[in-house]
Amino acid sequence: MAADEIATGPKLKIEPMEQFVVSPIFGDGPVNWYTPTNVTLWLFIAIVSIVLLMVLTTRGRAIVPTRGQSIAEVIYSFVRGMIVDITGEGGLKYFPYIMTLFLVILFTNVLGLVPYSFTVTSQIAVTGLLAMAVFISVTVLGFVKNGTKFLKIFWITEAPLALRPILALIEVISYFVRPVSHSIRLAGNMMAGHAVIKVFAGFAAVLAAGTPLGIGLIAPVGAIMAVIGLEVLVVVIQAYVFTILTCVYLNDALHPGH
Partner 1 sequence: MENAIAGADLIKMGALIGAGLSATGMGGAAIGVGHVVGNYLSGALRNPAAAGGQTATMFIGIAFAEALGIFSFLIALLLMYAQ
As to burial, measured by CB atoms within 10 angstroms (0-12 exposed, 13-18 middle, 19+ buried), residue 89 is exposed
Distance CA 209, CA 9 (A): 8
Of 34, 250, 25, 38, residue with least CA distance to 153: 250
- Residues, the chain: 258
User: What is the smallest separation between the CB atom of 10 and partner 1, expressed in angstroms?
Assistant: 22
What are the phi and psi torsion angles at 98 (to 5°)?
A: -70, -40
Distance CA 213, CA 207 (A): 10
Would you say 17 or 218 has its CB closer to partner 1? Answer: 17
Q: Is 181 in the site for partner 1 (CB under 8 A)?
A: yes
User: What is the smallest separation between the CB atom of 244 and partner 1, expressed in angstroms?
Assistant: 6
User: What is the smallest separation between the CB atom of 192 and partner 1, expressed in angstroms?
Assistant: 6
In the window 77-106, what residues touch partner 1 (CB under 8 A)?
Answer: 82, 85-86
Q: Is 17 in the site for partner 1 (CB under 8 A)?
A: yes
Q: Is 192 in the site for partner 1 (CB under 8 A)?
A: yes
Alpha carbons within 13 angstroms on the beta-carbon side of residue 29 total 7
Distance CA 14, CA 151 (A): 50
Q: Is 244 in the site for partner 1 (CB under 8 A)?
A: yes
Distance CA 246, CA 117 (A): 27
Would you say 144 or 177 has its CB closer to partner 1? Answer: 177
Q: Is 185 in the site for partner 1 (CB under 8 A)?
A: yes
Distance CA 130, CA 73 (A): 25
x-or-dash string of contact with partner 1, 222-241, rule CB under 8 A: ---------------x--xx
Distance CA 125, CA 25 (A): 19
Termini Cα distance of the chain: 66
x-or-dash string of contact with partner 1, 113-152, rule CB under 8 A: ----------------------------------------
Stretch that binds partner 1, among 49-57, 99-107, 179-187, 250-258 (CB under 8 A): 179-187
Query: Residues interacting with partner 1, by CB under 8 A?
Result: 17, 82, 85-86, 181, 184-185, 188-189, 191-192, 195, 237, 240-241, 244-245, 248
